[in-house]
Chain A
Amino acid sequence: MIRVNLMEMPAGLVVRKSQKSSMSLLPMLAGLFLALLIGAGAWYFYVGIPAHVLAVLPKSVQEFLPGVSSVQLPDPAPTIAEGAVVPVDGAKARPSLVRPRMVSDAAVEEIVRTLRPDLEVERKAPTTYRELLPAERILQQKALLREGFARFRKTTASVGFTDLAFRIPDLFYARGLIADPKVLQSFTDSLKANVAVFNSKPVPESGSGGVFTYYGRLRLPPPQVGEKLALLSAAEVMQEIEQIREMARAFQVRLTGLDKPVISDQGLYRRYLVHGQSRADFPTIARFAEAFASSSLRVGILQVGMRPTADEGLQTTFDFVLYSSN
């Protein structure tokens, strides 16, 4: 084997190769001893010397120890003063061996005293959708539905939508065609004025031919927490889903997929996702959605999407959501 070494360490550079700590025994023992000493000192300071240890210590040592009063020590021969009350059971009245302790800052008594059950921790008023509790989100979800359909329903007479979607917390997406440039302009202006964030896909230089793609954020009322909704029970979930079906029937909307909720365990609560689909036309869907949004059903909605089908119909999907206690 050829062994040459062209590595030359500069003088004075000591390289330790081993990654492991190589603490030798002596410093380790010294460290342990020191830790023990500090521990014993702390024990003595806060707790004092246990009585049975104190009892075996010679008197000279006991006197030497500061803070060990005669109260702590077992009295070898208690003297009973004349006229003093002697316990009936004849047991000798001996002073307690337990040293009364000073209440320090960290003592349990102090901690208990500082507790103020009257000061309930105030929940900060939520400002965003994410801060809402599950059941509270339902109100916000319904507000989205109401606002979304209100914004787009008025203009349907001359607008052909190819895609229209609303999604929590306040997102919208609309794509469609308006042949009349004037109508397109007024539609765009009214939308711009009434939504919080308005974006549009850039129009090609040759003109869009009336095709538009708008997306952004709807202007929704701020999250409300005043009206607290309780979580549903497992039995109520099915009742609520049944009520959606009833309501859809009343508005002549045929909803499918309601009988297959997807359940996910979120720890403290359980979430049911119901994926409802319908092929009803836009005005019917809008009427149903608005009625749903104003109803007292304890059902929320994550997303509504509408898009045309191959046979020139309209396919609408509702992602309903229900929250039940676990």
Chain B
Amino acid sequence: MKKPQFSLGVEVGESFFRLALLETNSSHVLALEHFDVSAYPLRDTGQLEEKLAEWVQRVPEPPHSITFTVSAGQSQMRRVILPAEVDDVREYLRWEFSTSLSSSPDEYIFDFHLERPAGKGSRQALVVGLRRAWIDSLVSGFHRKGLLPTQIELDAFSLANLLEQENNGPISDGTAVVKAEREGILLYLFKDGLPESLRWISTLNVRSAFGGPSQAHVMAILAKEVQGVLSGAAFCIGQPVGTPRKVYLCGSLSLFKNFVQTLQAIEGVDLEIWQNFRKFTLDAAGTSTVHLARCAAALGAALRREGDKK
């Protein structure tokens, strides 16, 4: 019998962070949690560290690996098709990446994922970069070095990995994930099993209406906007139908009835609120269904293990 491995996924949002503790061998979710903070956690690391340390003390098992997942909106992400004659992939991608930046590439920590989609000759790479300053502030700010993440990835990848795990195979083309938070709505469209298109809908102007009397109205408007952006994005990636067929909804706005109802009313869309996971068992004591839709990205991050990137 395999020794149980406990993996912690931490989703770092603009003013919150969420945690998911997973036993990776049996896909058993031991605990889920949501914390609100007053500043961006990667900038003000003190709050993040304090709450994380306290939580890790409380959970039944200390994690063997810790993965942070940050919003793809905070990163640089490119999809690059590799020419067949490239020998040094890293070098080539670094050069390619540097040409797409307006600042020095040294200011970014850079990594990539290589894929050869079935039926296509050329290799494709997802190249991502995250500002070095944030990682430096994290490393220097954490007093408990044992709580530093072993991996940092983007929420788009965490959600893709989760989707892949749930589907038990590659993600079908045209699938979309809507991660709707109070801070903004991110839309990911998948093609060839990879995030192909990324769209951002700002909530900055309507944020003050949350919790107010006009909340229902604002939610309906936001949902309409999501619909418009989705169909536009689908068109861009060459979908025959106007909107994606399957849309997974996660994030804190998925708890708002009006928002969900308006999205559900879109014709031809199969909307699924991501609160039922087929491949995971949940610990009744540490998790509740309300948290599930919010903690999807954290759960996806918990699928990673220390040293899994060769």
Please tell me which one of the listed residues A5, A15, A17, A19 contacts residue B111 in the complex, with CB atoms under 8 A apart. Answer: A5
Chain A nearest CB from B149 CB (Å) reads 5
A9-B139 in contact (CB<8A):
yes
B139-A13 in contact (CB<8A):
yes
Please tell me which one of the listed residues B64, B153, B161 contacts residue A6 in the complex, with CB atoms under 8 A apart. Answer: B153
Does residue B151 face the partner (Cβ distance < 8 Å to A)? yes
Q: How large is the interface on B (under 10, 10 to 19, 20 to 34, 35 or more residues)?
A: 35 or more
Does residue B16 face the partner (Cβ distance < 8 Å to A)? no
A15-B153 in contact (CB<8A):
no
Does residue B241 face the partner (Cβ distance < 8 Å to A)? no
Find chain A residues with CB under 8 A from B150 CB: 7, 17
Find chain A residues with CB under 8 A from B109 CB: 6-8
Interface residues of A, dominant DSSP:
loop
Chain A nearest CB from B3 CB (Å) reads 12
B149-A4 in contact (CB<8A):
no
Does residue A87 face the partner (Cβ distance < 8 Å to B)? no
B154-A4 in contact (CB<8A):
yes
Please tell me which one of the listed residues B64, B110, B308 contacts residue A17 in the complex, with CB atoms under 8 A apart. Answer: B64
Residue of A nearest to B66 (CB): A17
- CA A13 to CA B140, docked complex, whole Å: 11
Find chain A residues with CB under 8 A from B152 CB: 5-7
- CA A239 to CA B223, docked complex, whole Å: 81
B194-A2 in contact (CB<8A):
yes
Residue of B nearest to A16 (CB): B146
Find chain A residues with CB under 8 A from B153 CB: 2-6
Find chain A residues with CB under 8 A from B292 CB: none
Q: How large is the interface on A (under 10, 10 to 19, 20 to 34, 35 or more residues)?
A: 10 to 19
Please tell me which one of the listed residues A2, A15, A18 contacts residue B161 in the complex, with CB atoms under 8 A apart. Answer: A2
Residue of B nearest to A9 (CB): B139
Residue of A nearest to B164 (CB): A1
Indicate with 1 or 0, residue by residue over B153-186, a CB within 8 angstroms of chain A CB atoms: 1100100110010000000000000000000000
- CA A16 to CA B194, docked complex, whole Å: 34
Find chain A residues with CB under 8 A from B139 CB: 9-10, 13
Q: Which of B282-310 contact A (CB under 8 A)?
A: 303-304, 306, 308-309
Chain A nearest CB from B141 CB (Å) reads 13
- CA A4 to CA B128, docked complex, whole Å: 8
Q: Which of B72-116 contact A (CB under 8 A)?
A: 75, 109-113
A15-B146 in contact (CB<8A):
yes
Does residue B258 face the partner (Cβ distance < 8 Å to A)? no
Does residue B238 face the partner (Cβ distance < 8 Å to A)? no
Find chain A residues with CB under 8 A from B157 CB: 2, 4
Given contacts A5-B111, A9-B139, contact A15 B148 (CB under 8 A): yes
Q: Which of A1-52 contact B (CB under 8 A)?
A: 1-10, 13, 15-19
Find chain B residues with CB under 8 A from A7 CB: 68, 109, 135, 148-152
A19-B146 in contact (CB<8A):
yes
Q: List 13 A-B contacts (CB under 8 A).
A: A4-B111, A4-B112, A4-B153, A4-B309, A6-B75, A6-B111, A6-B153, A7-B109, A7-B135, A7-B151, A10-B139, A15-B145, A17-B65
Write the residues of chain A forming the contact surface with B, with a CB cutoff of 8 angstroms. Answer: 1-10, 13, 15-19
Given contacts A2-B194, A3-B304, A15-B148, 13 further A-B contacts (CB under 8 A): A1-B161, A3-B308, A4-B157, A5-B153, A6-B130, A6-B154, A7-B148, A7-B150, A8-B109, A10-B139, A17-B64, A17-B150, A18-B64
